[in-house]
Amino acid sequence: MKNRTSAVVGLFFIFLMFGSTIAYTLLSGSGFSIGKNKEEVSLPSTNIVYGELAENVETFAMSKGRTIVKFYYNALCNGCQEQKTYLEYMTNQNAGVIILEELTDNNVNAPKVSIMSQRGSDELVNATNDAVFDSLCNLMFNPPVDCALKKV
């Protein structure tokens, strides 16, 4: 009786082991995804984007240490060009660290800059270039040397 019980338990465990192996093989080969994201998220090819990135791309970029800067401006705004040029300059100076999204919004009366990173977020309306620079220095994961030099 004791041998028969051990044989049944042994066969049960052998069946369980083969069953789980077969199930894993079928699920992994047939396109089922267990804990895997089918969409491959990647960073944009340029640091300046003329439109809004998807939320999962922004999240991925911030997880890689990038700072997302969204610039909302009215296409008819005269003073917005100076801030736009400054933001493009800062983005190019810190290539691989800042991603700038330029978003035209005709409902915006004053230019708005929204900055997001792993360190937090900030929103500036009709801000000076110095205020934008200070906010970038506070929020960038790896701020440039210029940030430290300005504090001296």
pLDDT digits (tens, 9 = 90+) for 71-125: 999 988 877 889 999 999 999 999 889 999 999 988 888 899 999 999 999 999 9
Burial track 40-59 (b if 16+ CB lie within 10 A, e otherwise): eeeeeeebbbeeebeeebbe
DSSP letter assigned to residue 48: E
One domain, residues 17 and 57: no
One domain, residues 140 and 85: yes
Which amino acid is residue 134, in one-letter code?
D
One domain, residues 74 and 147: yes
From residue 25, how far is each of 30, 32, 35, 127 by CA, in Å? 8, 11, 15, 58
What pLDDT does residue 106 have? 85
One domain, residues 71 and 145: yes
One domain, residues 140 and 86: yes
Q: What is the pTM of this model?
A: 0.72
Nearest to 80 by CA among 132, 136, 147, 138: 132
One domain, residues 104 and 136: yes
One domain, residues 132 and 65: yes
- Give me the count of residues in the chain: 152
Query: Sign of the CA dihedral 89, 129, 124, 85?
Result: negative
The parent domain of residue 137 ranges over: 48-151
Task: Count how many domains the chain has.
Answer: 2
What's the CATH code of the domain at 105? 3.40.30.10
Is residue 43 one of the residues assigned to a domain? no
